[in-house]
Amino acid sequence: VIETGTYPTAAGLGEFGLIDAIIRRLGDAATAPAVLLGPGDDAAVIAPRGPVAVSIDQLVEGRHFRRDWSSAADVGVKAVGRSLADVVAMGCRPLAIVAGLALPADLPAAWVTEMAGGMADECRRAGAAVVGGDVTRAAVVALAVTALGDAGDTAPVTRGGARPGDRVVLVGRLGWAAAGWAALAAGAPTIDGALAPVVTAHRRPAVTYDAGPALARLGATAMVDVSDGLLADLGHVAEASGVAIDLQRAALPVAPEVAAAAAALDTDPLPWLLAGGDDHGLVATLPPDALAGVADLAGVVIGTVAAGAAVTVDGDRVPGPPGWRHF
Amino acid sequence: VIETGTYPTAAGLGEFGLIDAIIRRLGDAATAPAVLLGPGDDAAVIAPRGPVAVSIDQLVEGRHFRRDWSSAADVGVKAVGRSLADVVAMGCRPLAIVAGLALPADLPAAWVTEMAGGMADECRRAGAAVVGGDVTRAAVVALAVTALGDAGDTAPVTRGGARPGDRVVLVGRLGWAAAGWAALAAGAPTIDGALAPVVTAHRRPAVTYDAGPALARLGATAMVDVSDGLLADLGHVAEASGVAIDLQRAALPVAPEVAAAAAALDTDPLPWLLAGGDDHGLVATLPPDALAGVADLAGVVIGTVAAGAAVTVDGDRVPGPPGWRHF
C-alpha cells in the first residue's frame, strides 16, 4: 500500500510498520521487573512470584465505545482497566497484558498509537507491562486484552467464599460511568460542569488496583469487580457462594459528582448505582472482625451476607434489568 | 430475546446461556494439573512450574477463515493451534488458553459450541486447558486467543540467538496449508484424492507441540514457528540474531501430499514452501554438535547460519512476496 497523504492510515503503515510504531509509543511500559522478555518475539516471557491469574476481555467499537465519544487514549485506558480489574478482583497484583487489535484499514495510524499510549499509561498506573499483541484488519475497531496478575503468596479470592455473617464492602466508584453514559446518550449539548466528571469516568474507569490485593490480605472471603452492575455481580457471588446478600439502600454511596449529574439530567441515580457497570469498583465480602482495615482503603460497608439465596435491597427483590448483557 | 426456532442463535441463548453451553462443551478440557481455578470467575488461576510465555493471536472471518471452507470445529482447532504454536516456539510447554469470541447475533449457537469443541480437542492434544473467555457481539466472527506456556526449568529460546555455524532445522509440515488454501481459492470442484490432505491441513494445522521444548533441550539457539512463511520468519531470526541464513533448495521437504497437490493444480510447490504460513512448523537453529537428537523429532536440516545478513536460497536472494502480511 502506497501512502501519499499527510496522515498515514493503519494499512498505510503496514503490519510491521504499525507494530514498530506501537512498540515505540509504549516505551518503558513494555518492561517491568517481572518481564524477562517483552514484545517482538513469538511470545513474551514473564516470571511471576506466585500463581498467575488470567482473564480476557473485549472492547468493540459501536458496542462498548464510540470513537466520537471517547478519544483513542480513552479507549486504550478503558480496555486495559477493565481487563486488569478482573485479575485485581481475584486479589492479584497486575502483572502484564497482551492486546489483540482488529482495526479498519482506513483508521488513522495516529489513532492506533494514541490508543497504545492510553494502554501504556494505564499499565504504568497499575504497575503492569504491555508485553505483546497482534494486529489484524476488521470492519470496526475491536480490542481483546488479556490481563495477567500475580497472586504472590496470597490465596486467590473467588466468588464462592462468602459466608453468612460477612459484610459486603465496596471500594471504588459506583454509578459514575453509568451516569456519564446516560449524559452522552441523552445528547447533552455541553459536557461540562455537572456532567464532566461522570463523562470522564465513563471514558476512563478509575480502577483501584491496590485495593484488590489489600482486600485479599484483610481476609476477603469473596470478591468481584462491578462490570455488569452491582446487583448482577453480587448475584454471581450469592449464587457461587450459596448465600443471600442484602444491600442497605442508605449505605450505597452517592458521590457528589453522581448526584450532580442526576440533578442535571433530572433523573434518579439509583439505577446507576444498582445496574451500572464500567466503573469496575471492587465488591468484597469480609467477616465482621476483618473490617478494621477497610477504612484505610476508602471502603464502605453496603450490605450483609445471610443464609439463603438471591440479592435484595433493604430486604426486597429489585425488579428490572440486572445489568449490562453482552448478548 | 425470545427464540422460537428449532436452532437457537447466539443471541437467542443470551450471554450467560452461551457461556454455560460453551463450558459444558469444554468438559475436562477446562482442567489440567496446573489449573488452580478454571472458567467461571473473574479470572482463572494457574500455577506454572517456571516462567510463563504469553502470546495473543487473532482469527477473523473473511480474513483468516471462511465459514463455507472450514467447519466450526476446524476454526476452533486452528485458533488454538496458531496461538499455542507461539509459546511452543519459545521452547515452552502449552499450559492454557483464554479466548475472546466476537460473534454475530444470528450465528447458530451450535456453531459456537462446535467451535468451542474444536478448541477443547486441540487443547487436549497439546496438554493445555481452556481456562477462560469472553463473548461479545460483532458483525463477523472474530476470535482472539491468548496462549500461555510454561518454560519450566528451560531458558526460553528467542529469535535472537542464532550463531554462525549453526544449522537450520525444520520440524513439522511445510507448504501443506498453503497448498490447501490454493486448492480452495482455485475453486477446485471436488476436494478429494490429491487435494484432501492439504485442504485438511489448511483447516487444521498439525502443530508439533512436543518438538518446541525438545528442541530447546537439545540446545536450540533460536526458534520460530512458521506463520508468515519460511523466508519471512527466518528473516526475523536473521535480523534479531544479526546473521545470514542460507537455505538449501534440495533439502526443503516436499511431502508426497504437497507434491500431489502441486501436480493436481499444475503448479510449482516452491512458493508454498518458501512463503506459505499456517502450518506452524518449527524452525530452529542448533550448533552442529547438537543435531544428533533432531532425527528423533522427525526434523530435517534445511540450511546453515553464517556471518552477514538476510536470507538466501542456494546463495541467492529470492524476490517476491516474503509471506502473509496482515495489513
Phi, psi of A239 (to 5 degrees): -70, -45
List chain B pLDDT tens, one digit each, 327 residues.
Answer: 455 556 899 999 988 899 999 999 999 999 999 999 999 999 999 999 999 999 999 999 999 999 999 999 999 999 999 999 999 999 999 999 999 999 999 999 999 999 999 999 999 999 999 999 999 999 999 999 999 999 999 999 999 999 999 999 999 999 999 999 999 999 877 777 899 999 999 999 999 999 999 999 999 999 999 999 999 999 999 999 999 999 999 999 999 999 999 999 999 999 999 999 899 999 999 999 999 999 999 999 999 999 999 999 999 988 765 554 555
Say what the pLDDT of residue B187 is.
Answer: 87
Residues of B in contact with A137 (CB under 8 A): 60, 63, 326-327
Contacts of B50 (CB under 8 A, 6+ apart): B150, B151, B152, B153, B154
CB-CB neighbors (< 8 A) of A160 in chain B? 41
Residue with cell 427483590: A317
> In this predicted structure, what is the pLDDT of residue A189?
73
Whether the pTM exceeds 0.80: the reply is yes
Each residue's pLDDT tens digit, B278-322: 999 999 999 999 999 999 999 999 999 999 999 999 999 887 655
Q: Is the pLDDT of residue A173 over 80?
A: yes
Distance between CA atoms of B325 and B327, rounded to whole angstroms?
A: 6
- Percent above pLDDT 70 for chain A: 96
Chain B CA closest to residue A34: B51
Provide the number of CB pairs (under 8 Å) joining chain A to chain B: 225
DSSP H or E segment with residue A43? none
The residues near B136 (Cβ < 8 Å, ≥ 6 apart) are A58, A60, A63, A64, A326, A327, B100, B101, B102, B103
**Nine cell digits for residue B234:** 527466518
Note whether B43 contacts A54, CB cutoff 8 Å: yes
Q: Which residues pair with B284 in a beta bridge?
A: B169, B223
Residue contact A138–B140, C-beta within 8 A: yes
pLDDT at A124: 97
Q: Give the tens place of pLDDT for each residue, A251-286.
A: 999 999 999 999 999 999 999 999 998 999 999 999
| Burial label, A299 (beta-carbon count in 10 A; 0-12, 13-18, 19+) | buried
Kindly determine whether residue A144 and residue B58, on different chains, have CB atoms separated by under 8 Å.
Answer: yes
Residues of A in contact with B135 (CB under 8 A): 326-327
**Contact across the interface for A144 and B56, Cβ inside 8 Å:** yes
Res A4: pLDDT: 53
Asked if the Cβ–Cβ distance from A139 to B139 is below 8 Å, we say: yes
Closest CA to B175 of B234, B232, B85, B252: B252
8 A C-beta contact, residue B44 and residue B35? yes
Q: What are the chain B neighbours of A90 within 8 Å (beta carbons)?
A: 41-43, 45
Q: Residue B91 corresponds to which cell in the numbers above?
A: 521452547
The residue in chain A having the minimum alpha-carbon distance to the alpha carbon of residue B151 is A45
How far does the CA of residue B89 sit from the closest CA of chain A (Å)?
7
Strand ranges, E, within A61-191: 93-103, 129-137, 142-150, 167-171
- Taking the CA of residue B97 and the nearest CA in chain A, the distance in Å comes to 9
- The complex scores an ipTM of 0.94
Q: Cβ separation of A43 and B53 shorter than 8 Å?
A: yes
